[in-house]
Amino acid sequence: MDLLHIANKFFYESEIQDIKPLGNGHIHSTYEVVFQNDSAYILQKINTQVFTDPEKIIQNHLKVQQSIHSDQFEIPHLVKTRTGDYLYIDSKNNYWRMMHFIQDSYTVEVVRGNKQAYEAGRGFGWFLKVCSGLDVSNFHEAIKDFHSLHFRLNQFKQSITNDSVKRKSAVLELLDFYKTWALKLKAVEEIIQNKEIPIRVTHNDTKINNLLFRNKNAIAVIDLDTVGPGSVIYDYGDALRTICNTKAEDEQNIESVDFNVEFFEHFTKGYLEQTANILTKREKEILHLAPFYMTYMQGIRFLTDYLNGDTYFKTKYSDHNLVRSLVQKRLIEKMEENQKQIKSILTELIN
C-alpha cells in the first residue's frame, strides 16, 4: 500500500516529509503525516467491515465540526481531498480520510492521578454539553444497535452456539458469570427504551484514549466515528470503564486490576460541572448503573469476538480478547464491591 500516493490525494507530495503508524485503535489503520514545516495530519483507512457506510460517519462528523465552536476544547477537523471530497476511495475500494493533527498533545492509556480523572470528566462532559444543542434526528446511527444490550446478547449467544473455533469449553465459568449479569442489566436498557431518559447526540466511544491532553489539561475529544443517537449512560459509563481501571484494558495479571473509586469521584465531579444543567433528574438518578452497563457490554463483546475467532477487534496474541474480557469481569466485580460508595458519591455530587 502506497501511503504517499494516498496522502497525495489530499496534499502535494513535495510538502510531505514522513508517514508513520499512530495510536492504539482497535478498528482503523491510522497514520501520522508529517510535513516539511513540522505541521502534521492524521490519515486513516476506515475499517469498512465495521463502518459499512463511511459516508454516514463523515456526515455525522461534519455536523459536529460545523456546529461546535468552542475555545474550551477541540475536536479534530476533517480535511478535503484536493478535488473537494472528504473521502478518498482507492483502486482497491479502501476508504481514506484526513484530519487535523492536534499539536503538542498526548493520549493517556491508564489514568495517573485524580487531576487526570477530573480533566477527563470535564472533557467528555463538555462534549455531551455542546452536543445537547444539536438535533439528534439529523444524525445517523453509524453502527446499528451499537450499544444495545439486547443486540450484544444475541451476538454473544450466537457465538456460543456456533463455537466456531472450539474455544467454548475453556471459558465455561466466564460464560456463567456473564449470563448471570445479563439479567441485572436488562433494566437499564428498558429505561432507555421506555424513553425515561432522552436520546441525545453522544460520542459513544468515550474511552480514555479518545481524549487528548496538553500539559496537565484535557484539550480535545477525538475519534468521532460513533457520534450519533445515544444516551448519557453510554458516554459516562464507558469513560468510567477505562478511567477507573487501575491497569490496561488488556492487563494479563487479572488479579492486579482494580476499580479506583477516587478516580470515579474526580471524573464525576468534572463531568457534572459540565453537564449538571442539561441532565434530567432521571438521568442523574440512574448514572450509577452506567459503568456496570458499559463494562458488561464491552466484556461480552470481547468474549463474543474470542469465541468467533477474533474477527472484529485487532489482537496481538491468541488469548488477547479473552484477557480483555476477563479484565472487564474483574472490573464489574470491583465495582460491585464499591457499589455503595459509588452511589453515595454520586448522590453527594448531584445535590
Stretch that binds Mg ion, among 17-25, 119-127, 189-197, 322-330 (CB under 5 A): 17-25
CB of 22 to ligand GN1, least distance (A): 13
- Residues 87, 54: contact at Cβ < 8 Å? yes
Cα dihedral 129, 131, 133, 138 in deg (nearest 10)? -160
- Residue 223 interacting with Mg ion (CB under 5 A): yes
Of 210 and 260, which CB lies nearer to ligand GN1 in the complex structure?
210
Residues 185-214 touching Mg ion, rule: CB under 5 A, are 210
How buried is residue 83: exposed, middle or buried, by Cβ count under 10 Å (0-12/13-18/19+)? Answer: exposed
Residues binding ligand GN1 (CB under 6 A): 25-27, 50, 205, 207, 210, 223, 226, 249, 298
Residue with cell 465531579: 269
Decide if residue 25 touches Mg ion (CB under 5 A). Answer: yes
For the CB of residue 41, give the shortest distance to Mg ion in the complex, in Å. Answer: 17
Cell, residue 161: 452456539
CB of 108 to ligand GN1, least distance (A): 14
Q: Which is nearer to ligand GN1, 30 or 67 (CB)?
A: 30
Q: What's the closest the beta carbon of residue 242 comes to Mg ion, in angstroms?
A: 11
Could you tell me which stretch among 135-143, 170-178, 216-224, 312-320 binds Mg ion (CB under 5 A)?
216-224
CA 111 to chain centre: 15
Question: What CA dihedral angle connects 246, 251, 252 and 257, to 10 degrees?
Answer: 20
Helix (H) or strand (E) segment spanning residue 19: strand 16-21
Q: Which residues bind Mg ion (CB under 5 A)?
A: 25, 210, 223
